[in-house]
Each structure stands twice: as structure tokens, then as C-alpha cells.
A and B are shown apart, each in its own frame.
Chain A
Amino acid sequence: MSAGARPLSGLRVIDLAGLPGAYGAMLLAGLGADVIKVEPPAGDDLRHLAPFSRDGGARESLWFAAFGQGKRSVVIDCAVAAGRDQLRRLLASADAVIESHPPGALDAMDLGYAATSLANPALLWAAVTPFGQSGPRRDWKGSNLIAWASSGVLYQTGFPDRPPVTPGGPVQLACHVASLNAAAGLLLALRARRVSGRGQLIDVSMQECCLAINPESGVPLSLDDGIHRRRSGNRRNATRPFGLYPAADGHVSLLIVQPAHWRLLAAWIHETTGDEAILEPAFEDLAFRFQAADIVDAATEALTVKFRKLHLFHEAQRRGIPLTPVNTVADIAADPHLAAAGFFETSEHPVLGTYMRPGPAFRTPPGWWSLGPAPLLGQHTGEVLASL
């Protein structure tokens, strides 16, 4: 299949975003869009974020190496009038923009949606901000941590004897969820444009993106059951075993709700530890297992501590029990299923050399997905500006 047949080929996207837009813009590039990352002379913020590559001449941020993939890099200095003019012309040539500046910041340079859409009314513009483009707190500053704090999820995550803690920690998951929403919003607006001929503004609030992944512990549920949800550590106070249990080399996650799953687990515990009492039929009731949490947890731990987590995972699943390992990144890199599925693939980068990277997040028809390495700073400045 020729490159021209990729689904988003011909779509020019200007990436003016930080981390809250980076991954989503990368997905669009993988699906064929021409994504142009505009960077200041000192380089995008992501280029300065640890971890970095340690070998080789130059130090490369692995954030940029990961989420800059497939994009072209153009250096434009918006601190000077000539740079702002370059960006204005670039925006006039674009189908779409993804950005994460504070509300009004680009408008102050006459480079915001209002000014740009006058010259280019078909432009699609996704703006990711901590709290959205409207409302009394639209100018409040944010971060990954602030997004979780404002959504009620932070409060419910962690052990009761320590401060609440960010889900996914340094992964900065809220930024990625926001960028996924921004990419989805751009594609919806693209479809609307097909009929209306008009572009539009897509307003994405990181607070709302976190609220939208929280129905399981969120406001409608809490109003209905009247439960004040607090953090309960790494086991859920619904039944047992439900949560993380120690293995010989880390932890595993167990989620036993159905009676059939409990019977299989109880048989395994009995077989391994000789525990007869755990076979009592009363334990089949999930409410009873929660009342007897200490007994159930102790019996479960007596099994799980005996084995390594990968063995527990494979053996439990062979027996039909829903158990997974608490994987580190090293475990994921070594996982046999991902290897068999060909998930990791090699790529070439001028500084990193040949390296293994995670493959595409979805398996699409042949010819759709292709993702080059992250560009060097300003690698495409000449060719892009010359084309305007």
C-alpha cells in the first residue's frame, strides 16, 4: 500500500503542546498525519525532562524520544516578531493545532484560536488546559498531580497512614489521558468539518479528563450509596482477596468475586499449604470473605509468598483464576506474551542508535501505521519554512 493511502495522510497538525498533547499528536502522526512540532530555540520542554539516554555523545530525553516519534521539528523563536510571523504563516497552512498553553497566552501574541481562525476558518484547534477555557478557575495553573487532586482520585489512592498518592506516579497518566481526548476531539471535529466546512475549538480540561475515568469511585456512585470513599491501601474494601498480595519476588494482583473463582483459588491454597479450613463452603460468599478478611488474606498470602510472580500469573491463569503480576518496566520488557506477539520493535535514532521500542498501541490494517524516530531539534526547520 502506498504512503498516500494512510488514513490521515494530507492532514497537517501543528503541535504546540507540552506533555498533555504529546502522545495524542504522536498517534495522529503514526496514522499518517504530518505532525509538525514547533520548538523554541532551547528545545521543547520534553527534551529537558529526565530520564535521559546515558550512552552516546548527546544526552537525549527519553520522553521526547518516545512521544516525539513521527513528528517533524521546526524551531521558531516566538520571542521575536519574525518568529511570530513564521508561526502565523505555519498556522495558516494547517488543518489542525494541538496546544496546551494557559488560556489566553497565545491570544496575547495574536496567535490564538480567535486570530488564527479568522485567517483559516477551517482550522481545528484542540486546547488542553488544567481546568478548561471557561469558569472561575480557568486561569488556575495545573500539573499531572493537580489534575488528580481536583478529580477526587488522588484522595482515594494510597495507604491510610500516608498522604494520598498519584495513580501511576511519574508516568504522568493524566497528561496522556488528556492528550488522548484531544486527539479524539480533533478527529471528531475533522468529521464535522466534512459536512460544515468549518473548523472549531476543542476545549479539553485535564480535571474533567480525570473525572471522566472515575465513574467507579466518582460522584454519581457516592451520591447513590452514600459512602464517603477514602483510600484503603492496596486492597479494595469490597471483598477478599481483592488487591495486591506478596509474591516471592514482588506482588501479584488478585480479584476474586465469582464463587467459581474462589473455589479454584481455595483448592490451590489447600493443595499448596494443606489449609483444610479454607475449603469451608461459607467462604464462597464474597461478603463473608470480607468479614473474615484476616483469615482469607493470611491463607492467600501463605500461597502467594511461596512463588515468583510470573509463575503465580501463569499457573493461576492456567487454573482459570484472575491473577496478574505487579509488573515493573523490566518485567514488561521481558514478558513472553509481548515477545510472542511481536510487540517490541526496533527503530533507528541518530543519537540513540538502534533501540527497542514499544510497538503501536493498536493493530490496524496493513499500511496504516508507521512511525519514524523523534526528530533532532530543528531537523525540519528549513524544509518546512521554505514550503510556506
Chain B
Amino acid sequence: MPGPMPLEGVRVFELGIAIAAPNACKYFANFGAEVLRIESLNNPDVARLFASSWARARPELGPVMLDTSPYVSEMGAGKLSVGLDLKHPGGLAAARRLLRDCDVLITNYSSPAVKTLGLDYESVAAIRPDIVYVALPGFGSNPATPYYEFLAWGPNQAPLVGLDSLTGYADQEPAGIAAIAPPDYCSSLHAVIAVLTALEQRDRTGDGAYIDISQFEATIALLSPYLLDNVLNGHVQPRTGNRTSGAAPEGVYPCRGDDRWLAISCTTDDEWAALGEVAGRPAWAVDARFADAAGRATNADELDGHIGAWTAQYGADELAAWLQAAGVPAHAASDNYGVLADPQVRDRGYFKVRPSARFGRDLFSGNPLHLSDTPGSPRRAGPQFGQDTRHILRSVCGYSDGEIDALVAGGAAFEPPLPAVTLTRPYDAMLPVLIPGLSGDGTANE
């Protein structure tokens, strides 16, 4: 029988934009915390403004459009949406009332914005002295530092922290990281660790904590070996394509088909020998210059040419399976359809389907942490905009329905527009095929 969820009884106040704070709170929601996502009608999160492409073509949807972005479930599954305008005195008063009963506040609003709202650490600690307060601004919360007011947008942060200059080939300009924004996620994982540590400390001492995470600083720590290489040796690490210092050969090789590629990392001589066996022991596989790792690294360009000429004759998935069967680390460079069809991803049920008020059901990315005794999984997909306003203001703040009606009428709070419209995602009918193990009513998988 599973144990009680690790964060049962913990209430989190999420003042988030886009990724950094919301992604951290996803972890908390997965493991039993009640996450209150505070949302503003006048200034919706960009994650909601990136409406679905098909919805943008339907202006008649009006504010319902704000429920259509896939990010609503990607970043909001398992959370409660509380619609409060914090720039309205009534909305701010409700937020301050909520904070009396919150254990954690996490925000990635800019430091000046949090101060202007009156929700900086000092103000919140005055309401709830043992609050665990985590700020995730782009450049830290110290007004005396030069970049305090600088703008930090997710895709701009990977270049800043040094990741883009190390992405690509040495003979070409930096390829950059266009698909994802790693610093947002690295910062949010540091925030998860900070919050859990602070809760541990609070349980021991009764004290809350203020934790300031500069997104600039949090990701730089991960580049420490190359920073030390610069500070100690005066060396500036160049781009190395797909090669790392622990493996040779290591690269991405062409395969049969349109834009199909196979990744291979040989970290030991045994793996290199196994690769040669799978290739049928051609001349290059037994060439003495490639016999040890140093020789393979020195002659890497020539070796890559031989391997690429061999891989090009085969399909990426079949070659990956042959190489793995022989003990060689290899995998096709999957596109998103490949990820969806990946037998490992399907077997482990990575992608989740859960009930959704707006769509009936919705699909989103799962939880990379599998805890054997307390498996964490959200009960529902992302919330409708303001879906839980009334319930939370009533149950936590103790407001009457009349008081809530007045707040909504005055623009201090909001609820989902009526009548309820149920929408359908374009791929909804395919879900039983795409996602194995859907329940009888089709609204959830394991």
C-alpha cells in the first residue's frame, strides 16, 4: 500500500510566469502539495497567451482561448487556479489572507515587480513568519547589483550562462539551443531542492526561510569544470559538436531515410570492440590507430567518416537495437513522433492523460521521479482559468459566496466565463492509440 504523499498538507502559493516557478510547483503538485496558481485576468501568464494555433483561428472563443494552450496542462497539471487581480486592493487583500495559510511562496516575477505588489519576503513574512519564500528572478534580488533590473527571458538565458557558446561545431558559429530553455528548468530544480530543504529545516527549528535564486548563477554552477579550466589554466573550452572527453567514438551518424540519425557513445574499449563486431570487422574496426581511446580521439574525424559510411546503409532504429544488443550505447535521434512511439516511453507511461474541465481530458508530460512507495501523479490536467477561485476563497479564506460575488463583480477576482464550453483537441480521437492503458472512460492512464 502506498504511503502518504510526501507533501500532503503543504500549501504552495505560486506567483509564476512561463516556466521557472511553475515547473518547480509541478513537482510539488505531483507529490501531494496543494498548489494555488495565482492568475490575473488583466495580465495572464504568457503560458496562457500562447493559445493553441487552431484556437487562434476561432476568435468567438474569447477568454476561453486562454484555456487552450498546451502549456496549461504542461505547467499546470494537478494545480488549482485562483483568479485574483493583485493590483486590485480586494485581490491583494484576498492574497494576503491566503498567505496566512500557505507554507511556501514561490515566484519568478522580477524583483521590482514583487516589491511593487507588496509581496516581497519582508511583507509576506509579516503575515506568515515561517513562510518558505523562494524568489527566482533572472539576476537575483539584490538592488545593489548591476543587472538587477535587466530583462530575463527564457531563451536568452542559455546564451548568457555559457551553454550556447558550447553548442555546435568548432568550425561554425554557435548553433545555440533553440528548442528548449535549460536555465529555466535548472533554476526550477534548484528551487525544488531549496524548498524541500527549507521544509526540513522548518520542521526541525520552526523557522521559515528566504531563498534567492538568480537564474544567472544557478546554471553557471553546472559549467564549473570549464570555468575552473579558464580560471586555473587560462583555457577557453571550444565547441566540440557531439564529442565529450569521456568517450570515443562519440557522435551522430547518418542513417537511411530523410534526416535520420544515430547517436553512438563508446565509453570503453569493450564497447569499441563490440561496435566493430556489429559492423562485421571492416578494416577500420581493426586499425591499430583506433585500438585505444587516445588513438580514437586523436583520429576522431577520420573514424567518424568510416562509421558514418557504415551507418548510412541502415535504419537508425534497427542499428540502435543491434548495437545495444551487443552492449554499445546507441539511440536514434528521435523526432517527436519517434518519442511517442518509443516502446520505453510507452511502457513506462511517461505521458499522462487526466480529466480536464475544458477538454474533458488532456495530455501532458509526466513526472521524471518514480518513488516506489509514494508514486506521484496529478489527479487532473491543467485548470481552467480561475477554475478554483470560489472553492479556495471559501475554504481557505472563509469568504461567503456574497463576498466572493462582490470581489468578482468588482474585478478583484474572477471565475471561468459561463456557459461552460467543452473543446476538443485536434488529436483527441487518436488518444487511445497514442497512449496505452487508458481507463474505461478514457480520461486517465496509469
Q: Is A232 an interface residue (CB 8 A)?
A: yes
Query: In the bound complex, what is the Cα–Cα distance between A72 and B68 (angstroms)?
Result: 51
> Contact: A253 with B175, CB < 8 Å?
no
> Contact: A236 with B333, CB < 8 Å?
no
A191 contacts across to B, CB distance below 8 A? 6-7, 196, 199-200
Q: Is B73 an interface residue (CB 8 A)?
A: yes
CB distance from B246 to the nearest CB of A (A): 5
Which of these, A141, A201, A343, contacts B372 with CB under 8 Å? A201
A155 contacts across to B, CB distance below 8 A? 261, 333-335, 338
A53 contacts across to B, CB distance below 8 A? 228, 232-233
Which of these, B167, B169, B193, contacts A167 with CB under 8 Å? B167
Which residues of B in the span 137-183 have a Cβ within 8 Å of any Cβ on A? 139-140, 142, 144-147, 149-153, 155-169, 172-182
Which of these, A130, A221, A252, A255, contacts B153 with CB under 8 Å? A255
A330 contacts across to B, CB distance below 8 A? 230, 236
Of the candidate stretches B96-104, B250-258, B406-414, the one touching chain A is B250-258
> Contact: A165 with B344, CB < 8 Å?
no
Of the candidate stretches B59-67, B205-213, B389-397, the one touching chain A is B205-213
Query: In the bound complex, what is the Cα–Cα distance between A61 and B246 (angstroms)?
Result: 12
B419 contacts across to A, CB distance below 8 A? none
**Binary per-residue interface labels of chain B (221-263) against chain A in the complex, 1 for a CB within 8 Å, 0 otherwise:** 1111111111111011101111111110011111000010101
Which of these, A169, A183, A216, contacts B240 with CB under 8 Å? A169
Known: A135-B348, A140-B324, A234-B174. A332 touches B240 (CB 8 A): no
Which of these, A162, A233, A358, contacts B169 with CB under 8 Å? A162
Q: Is A288 an interface residue (CB 8 A)?
A: no
> Contact: A171 with B345, CB < 8 Å?
no
Q: Is B350 an interface residue (CB 8 A)?
A: yes
The dominant DSSP class at the A interface is mixed
A220 contacts across to B, CB distance below 8 A? 70, 73-74, 351, 363-365
Q: Is A184 an interface residue (CB 8 A)?
A: yes
A111 contacts across to B, CB distance below 8 A? none
B190 contacts across to A, CB distance below 8 A? 27, 180, 361-362
Query: In the bound complex, what is the Cα–Cα distance between A243 and B334 (angstroms)?
Result: 24
> Contact: A145 with B265, CB < 8 Å?
yes
> Contact: B178 with A243, CB < 8 Å?
yes
Query: In the bound complex, what is the Cα–Cα distance between A356 and B368 (angstroms)?
Result: 34
Q: Is B438 an interface residue (CB 8 A)?
A: no
Q: Is A240 an interface residue (CB 8 A)?
A: no
Q: Is B369 an interface residue (CB 8 A)?
A: yes
CB distance from A37 to the nearest CB of B (A): 16
B155, B163, B329 pick with most chain A CB within 10 angstroms? B155
> Contact: B227 with A358, CB < 8 Å?
yes
> Contact: B166 with A222, CB < 8 Å?
no
Which residue on A lies nearest to B52, using beta carbons? A224
Query: In the bound complex, what is the Cα–Cα distance between A12 and B59 (angstroms)?
Result: 58
B53 contacts across to A, CB distance below 8 A? 224-225
Q: Is B290 an interface residue (CB 8 A)?
A: no
CB distance from B210 to the nearest CB of A (A): 7
Which of these, B160, B240, B244, contacts A253 with CB under 8 Å? B160
Query: In the bound complex, what is the Cα–Cα distance between A184 and B181 (angstroms)?
Result: 20
Q: Is A326 an interface residue (CB 8 A)?
A: yes
B149, B179, B363, B376 pick with most chain A CB within 10 angstroms? B179
CB distance from B4 to the nearest CB of A (A): 5
**Binary per-residue interface labels of chain A (57-76) against chain B in the complex, 1 for a CB within 8 Å, 0 otherwise:** 00001110111000000000
Known: A149-B252, A216-B180. A221 touches B175 (CB 8 A): no
**Binary per-residue interface labels of chain A (124-140) against chain B in the complex, 1 for a CB within 8 Å, 0 otherwise:** 00000011111111101
- Interface band, chain A: 35 or more
> Contact: B263 with A322, CB < 8 Å?
no
Query: In the bound complex, what is the Cα–Cα distance between A134 and B370 (angstroms)?
Result: 11
Q: Is B373 an interface residue (CB 8 A)?
A: yes
Q: Is A29 an interface residue (CB 8 A)?
A: no
CB distance from B194 to the nearest CB of A (A): 5
**Binary per-residue interface labels of chain A (192-204) against chain B in the complex, 1 for a CB within 8 Å, 0 otherwise:** 1011101111111
Q: Is B374 an interface residue (CB 8 A)?
A: yes
Which residue on A lies nearest to B342, using beta carbons? A150
Query: In the bound complex, what is the Cα–Cα distance between A203 and B344 (angstroms)?
Result: 14
> Contact: B168 with A165, CB < 8 Å?
yes
B182 contacts across to A, CB distance below 8 A? 167-168, 173, 177, 213
Q: Is B114 an interface residue (CB 8 A)?
A: no
Which of these, B4, B156, B329, B342, contacts A196 with CB under 8 Å? B4
**Binary per-residue interface labels of chain A (280-292) against chain B in the complex, 1 for a CB within 8 Å, 0 otherwise:** 0000000000000
CB distance from B229 to the nearest CB of A (A): 4
A116 contacts across to B, CB distance below 8 A? none
| 3 A-B pairs with least C-beta separation | A66-B224, A143-B265, A234-B176
Other CB < 8 Å A-B pairs besides A153-B179, A169-B244, A228-B337, 17 of them?
Answer: A7-B197, A7-B201, A24-B193, A49-B246, A51-B237, A62-B224, A134-B348, A137-B344, A145-B252, A157-B179, A184-B27, A191-B196, A198-B3, A204-B368, A211-B368, A234-B168, A322-B151
- Can you list 30 A-B pairs, Cβ within 8 angstroms, ordered by A? A5-B205, A7-B198, A8-B200, A23-B222, A132-B348, A142-B331, A143-B244, A145-B247, A149-B261, A152-B334, A162-B172, A165-B175, A165-B241, A169-B167, A171-B166, A180-B190, A184-B27, A184-B369, A198-B373, A211-B368, A222-B337, A223-B426, A231-B178, A244-B176, A250-B165, A253-B176, A320-B151, A343-B217, A361-B218, A363-B214
